[in-house]
Amino acid sequence: HVMGLGLSATKRLDLQLIGRTGRQGDPGYSRLYRSLEEELVLKFAGGWGDGLSERLGSGVEWGESITKRLAETVVEECQRKQEGQHYEELKRGIEYDRVLEVQRTTFYRDREQVLEADAGRLKMFVLKLAREEISELGTAWLEGENEVGGQEGTAGLVEATTALFGFKIASELQLFLGSRKEVSEDAIKKWLLAKLEQVMEQAGLGLRKVNLSENIRDTLLKTLDGEWVEYLTPLEELRHGIFLRVYGGQEPLREYQREAWHLWAEFQVKSQKKILENITVFCK
């Protein structure tokens, strides 16, 4: 025998409770006791629910139950609305999860490529990152199309090169710039890329090629994993706090998607810089 007290959030829970009666063929019965002043009824009954208990309970003595079908209909309708609300919340939660799922798939796809790459592909991967970073260095510190942008721009370029590729390459870059009156931006980019490739080749002469490629692979994986873990923290904080945007008249989901992809772009840039820093330190 089962007696249910209170109003369940969904009809499914009531049916599960009723299903506990008469187990294994034994006779049994169930009775559910609800109140029309339950929080769920007050939440979804709306304005027409004011005084609902008085209208349905007219002619019923104190302590007697209200067995009118209208009361059951009201309860079921409130449960149906609650189920619909839960369903919408679940769908919205999936939309939030989809952003991270796409990013996670992209990250682990790139990580798998690093795991399976041979020595030649690893080298090409590092040089591709270097080419992108060198292009950004030139854009940030060089002015004009055909010449170095003055002493300040040259000093900034050398300083940025030191932070990214190390002192050795930066010092040689300074000598390269000082030996020429005018150097095009494209020539500087080509020189930096060739110098980095030369440094990697020299590191390969000191170690066996297999050891060099495995050390580069290990450096790539450790850097990617470390940056990924750091990236997940602000993304999780963003999701927990994004719902407050509704008070500013903003759509939380749209704002989350926009800022999450902005964080993703920053993560990729930061990861590339960190990879190059670690690789060049290793190749010194």
H helix count then E strand count, the chain? 10, 2
Task: Say if residue 128 is in the same domain as residue 71.
Answer: no
Contacts of 193 (CB under 8 A, 6+ apart): 127, 130, 131, 134
Give the helix, strand, coil percentages of the chain, each rounded to 5.
Answer: 75, 5, 20
Does a structural domain hold residue 122?
A: yes
Kindly state whether residues 278 and 168 are assigned to the same domain: yes
User: Is 279 within the bounds of a domain?
Assistant: yes
Q: Tell me which of 38-42, 142-146, 170-174, 227-231 is least confident.
A: 142-146
Residue 199 near residue 280, CB atoms below 8 Å:
yes
Residue 94 lies in a domain: no
Q: Same structural domain for residues 67 and 138?
A: no
| 228, part of any domain | yes
In a domain, 109, yes or no: no
- Torsion sign (Cα): 133, 139, 141, 146: positive
C-alpha 147/C-alpha 150 separation (Å) is: 8
* pLDDT value, residue 147: 41
Residue 11's CATH number: 3.40.50.300
Domain check: are 68 and 19 in the same one?
yes
Q: Which span out of 59-63, 83-87, 200-204, 261-265 was modeled with the highest average pLDDT?
A: 261-265
What is the C-alpha to C-alpha distance for residues 252 and 244, in angstroms, rounded to an integer?
8
211 and 150 both lie in a single domain = yes
Nearest-CA neighbor of 135 among 220, 218, 193, 204? Answer: 193
Q: Is 138 helix (H, G, I), strand (E, B) or coil?
A: helix
Q: Is residue 108 part of a domain?
A: no
CA 27 distance to own-chain centroid: 54
Q: What is the pLDDT of residue 262?
A: 94
Does one domain contain both 142 and 259? yes
- pTM here? 0.61
Report the number of distinct structural domains present in the chain.
2
Q: Do 121 and 81 fall within a single domain?
A: no
Same domain, 155 and 271: yes
Q: What are phi and psi of 4, to 5 degrees?
A: -105, 125
Same domain flag for 14 and 154: no
Residue 101: the pLDDT is 93
Q: Which domain holds residue 41?
A: 2-86
CATH at residue 121: 1.10.3060.10
CA angle 54, 58, 63 (to 5 degrees): 85
Residue 61 above 90 pLDDT? no
pLDDT of 80-129, one tens digit each? 888 887 878 788 888 889 999 999 999 999 899 888 888 778 878 877 87
* Same domain as 268, residue 134: yes
Tell me, yes or no, whether 102 lies in a domain. Answer: no
Q: What is the pLDDT at residue 146?
A: 33
* Residue 237, token pair as written in the block: 């904080």
- Neighbouring CB atoms inside 10 A of 74's CB total 20
Residues 79 and 124 in one domain: no
The Cα 84–Cα 97 span in angstroms is 20
Are 77 and 121 members of one domain? no
